Structure 1
Amino acid sequence: MTVRAIRGATQLDADDAAHLLERTAELMTTVLDRNELTPDDVISIFLTATPDLRSAFPAVAVRQLGITDVPMMCAQEIGVAGALPRVVRLMAHVETTKPRSAMRHVYLHGTTVLRDDLADR
């Protein structure tokens, strides 16, 4: 097995706790599905939120999916002028036999502009 990192992001319509949890859960499940992974393959998850998101911790959404034994950390994304607002990002470290080139990064709800080179179309 090899350790790989998978990136992802999603944008929210508003800073609402239920909406943040829904979009973050969708992001995490899409990362797992598109990469044919199970929660047991996940080593750790780093989540960030832009400074305009304060309603909930994104890690709560991942825990609500049943992924409770994986180390997670939430942080605030740096506030760069003109940056895309209301964005939750994640970087998941996983164990897999797939090569780096086979990792499918996930950009949902308008976030493909963040990494057009990595976004799965």
Structure 2
Amino acid sequence: MIRGVRGAVTVEKNEEKEIVAATEQLLREMIKENHIDAHSVVSVFISVTDDITEAFPAKALRAIEGWTYVPVMCMREIPVPKGLTKCIRVMMHVNTEIAQEKISHIYLGNAVSLRPDLQQELNR
């Protein structure tokens, strides 16, 4: 079955190097914590807030060995007033038998504020 693995990270500056590095860190953590093999991934959606314009975060996925053929798409997050800024969100669609409640969703930087309930579960 297909499960969604979520993650998010924030950056301090709208600079290509920082955007790609933060996204790569997030992706590697999602992959590690959920034991994901590229061959089991259906697709990856990456969204960014309006204030991230200097790079496609998908570039980070291409830096990870074995992920060349995984379909990835970048898009804009909806601009909600007072929403988290400089945020990169990832939704990875993975073929797995792992139960939904056993998936580790990863939130780094200021993005931990998006799902503090999941962070509390991880810290138990």
Cα distance per residue 1:2-50 (max 9 Å; x no partner): 2110110000011010000000001101001011112222110000000
Which amino acid in structure 2 is aligned with residue 108 of structure 1? L
The aligned length equals: 120
Which amino acid in structure 1 is aligned with residue 28 of structure 2? T
Which amino acid in structure 2 is aligned with residue 3 of structure 1? I
Q: Percent identity over the alignment?
A: 32
CA distance in 2, matches of 1:32, 1:41: 11
Q: Mark the runs of 5 or more structure 2 residues left unpaired by the alignment.
A: none
Please provide the CA RMSD for this pair: 1.1
Cα distance per residue 1:61-87 (max 9 Å; x no partner): 111213111111110111112111100
Using structure 1 for the length normalisation, give the TM-score.
0.94
Which amino acid in structure 1 is aligned with residue 70 of structure 2? V
CA distance in 2, matches of 1:12, 1:26: 12
CA distance in 2, matches of 1:39, 1:110: 27
Q: CA deviation at 1:88?
A: 0.3
The answer as to 2:47 corresponding to 1:48 is yes
SS at match of 1:10: strand
Q: State the match for 2:109 in structure 1.
A: 109
Q: CA deviation at 1:117?
A: 2.4
Q: State the match for 2:59 in structure 1.
A: 60
CA distance in 2, matches of 1:118, 1:75: 24
SS at match of 1:91: strand
Using structure 2 for the length normalisation, give the TM-score.
0.91
Q: Mark the runs of 5 or more structure 1 residues left unpaired by the alignment.
A: none
